[in-house]
C-alpha cells in the first residue's frame, strides 16, 4: 500500500472552495480520502465538490458552508462534518484573511482584530474541537497553512505576518502536548503562490520582481505544489513529522 494512500480518511479543509484549499481537497480525494469543502459561500463549496466528484467518479467531496469568523459556525462545521463522515481524521486549516496592505501605523484596529480572529483564533478553536476525538482514537493529523510571512518581516503585511507566526506556534504546542497520543500537528509555509488570495502581490510588477529576484527557481508557486505536501503530512508518509513547519517557496527564504 502506498505511503501516500488516504483511503477511508475523513478530512475537513477550511477555505477549500478555491486556491490552495481547493487543490488540497482535490489531491486528497484523488488519494482516496473523503473531504469536506468549506468556505463562506455554499454555492462555491457545491461547485468545487461537484468538480472533484466528477473527476474522481464517486461522491467523495461534500460541501458545508461556514464563516471562520463566527465561533458558532465553527462548532456547527465540526458537528456537521461528523454527521456526514462519521469522524475527522485530518483537520486542515487553510482559510485566512488579509484585509490590509501597508504600514502597521496606518492599520485600523478593527482590521487588525479581524486578522487575529480569522487567522489565529479560528484555527485554535477548530483544533480544540477536533482534538478530543483524536485523543480518544489515539490518532489524528492537524495541518495549518501558514506562510513564509511567519519567518520574514514585511513593511506592508505586518499583522498578517504576526498571525502566521502564531499559527506556527499553535502546531508546535499541539505536537508537544498531544504527540504522546499519536497526534501529528504541522504547518506548511508557502511562498508566493498563484491564487486569487495573493493576486494583489503577484499582479504587482514591483512586488513580483522583488520576489523573483530572491527566488532561485525564478517563478512563483502553484497551488498543487502546496497540496502535495499536505497529502504527505496527512498520510503515513508523514507519520514521524511533528511540530514542524515545511517551507515551500522555491528557495525564496534561503537566498
Residues belonging to the active site: 160
What residues form DSSP beta bridges with 13?
37, 92
| β-strands 183-190, 245-248 pairing | parallel
Asked whether 16 and 25 are in contact (CB, 8 A), the reply is yes
For residues 144-177, b (16+ Cβ closer than 10 Å) or e, as one string? bbbbbbbbbeeeebbbbbbbbbbbbebbbebbee
8 A C-beta contact, residue 251 and residue 217: yes
Among the listed residues 22, 132, 111, 131, the one whose alpha carbon sits nearest the alpha carbon of residue 69:
111
- Measured between alpha carbons, how far is 113 from 68 in angstroms, rounded to an integer? 14
Question: In this structure, are residues 245 and 150 in contact, taking their beta carbons and an 8 Å threshold?
Answer: yes
- Alpha carbons 249 and 235: distance in angstroms, whole number: 22
Residue given cell 498563484 in the structure block: 194
Query: Using a CB cutoff of 8 Å and minimum separation of 24, what contacts does 43-48 make?
Result: 44/17, 44/18, 45/16, 45/17, 47/17, 48/16, 48/17, 48/18, 48/22
d(CA 101, CA 232): 33
C-alpha cell at 176: 508537544
Amino acid at each position: 500500500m502506498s505511503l501516500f494512500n488516504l483511503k477511508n480518511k475523513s478530512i475537513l479543509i477550511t477555505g477549500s472552495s478555491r486556491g490552495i484549499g481547493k487543490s488540497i481537497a482535490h489531491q486528497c480525494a484523488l488519494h482516496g480520502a473523503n473531504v469536506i469543502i468549506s468556505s463562506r459561500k455554499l454555492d462555491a463549496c457545491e461547485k468545487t465538490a461537484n468538480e472533484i466528484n466528477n473527476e474522481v467518479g464517486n461522491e467523495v467531496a461534500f460541501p458545508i458552508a461556514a464563516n471562520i469568523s463566527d465561533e458558532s459556525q465553527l462548532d456547527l462545521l465540526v458537528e456537521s462534518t461528523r454527521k456526514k463522515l462519521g469522524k475527522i481524521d485530518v483537520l486542515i486549516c487553510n482559510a485566512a484573511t488579509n484585509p490590509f496592505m501597508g504600514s502597521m501605523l496606518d492599520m485600523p484596529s478593527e482590521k487588525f482584530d479581524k486578522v487575529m480572529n480569522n487567522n489565529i483564533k479560528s484555527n485554535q478553536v477548530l483544533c480544540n474541537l477536533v482534538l478530543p476525538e483524536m485523543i480518544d482514537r489515539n490518532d489524528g493529523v492537524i495541518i495549518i497553512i501558514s506562510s513564509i510571512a511567519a519567518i520574514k518581516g514585511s513593511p506592508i503585511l505586518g499583522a498578517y505576518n504576526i498571525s502566521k507566526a502564531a499559527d506556527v506556534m499553535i502546531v508546535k504546542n499541539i505536537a508537544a502536548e498531544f504527540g504522546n497520543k499519536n497526534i501529528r500537528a504541522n504547518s506548511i509555509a508557502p511562498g508566493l503562490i498563484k491564487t486569487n488570495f495573493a493576486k494583489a502581490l503577484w499582479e504587482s510588477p514591483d512586488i513580483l520582481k522583488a520576489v523573483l529576484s530572491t527566488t532561485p527557481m525564478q517563478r512563483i508557486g502553484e497551488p498543487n505544489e502546496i497540496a502535495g505536501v499536505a497529502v504527505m503530512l496527512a498520510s503515513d508518509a508523514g507519520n514521524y513529522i511533528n511540530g514542524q513547519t515545511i517551507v515551500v517557496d522555491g528557495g525564496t527564504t534561503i537566498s
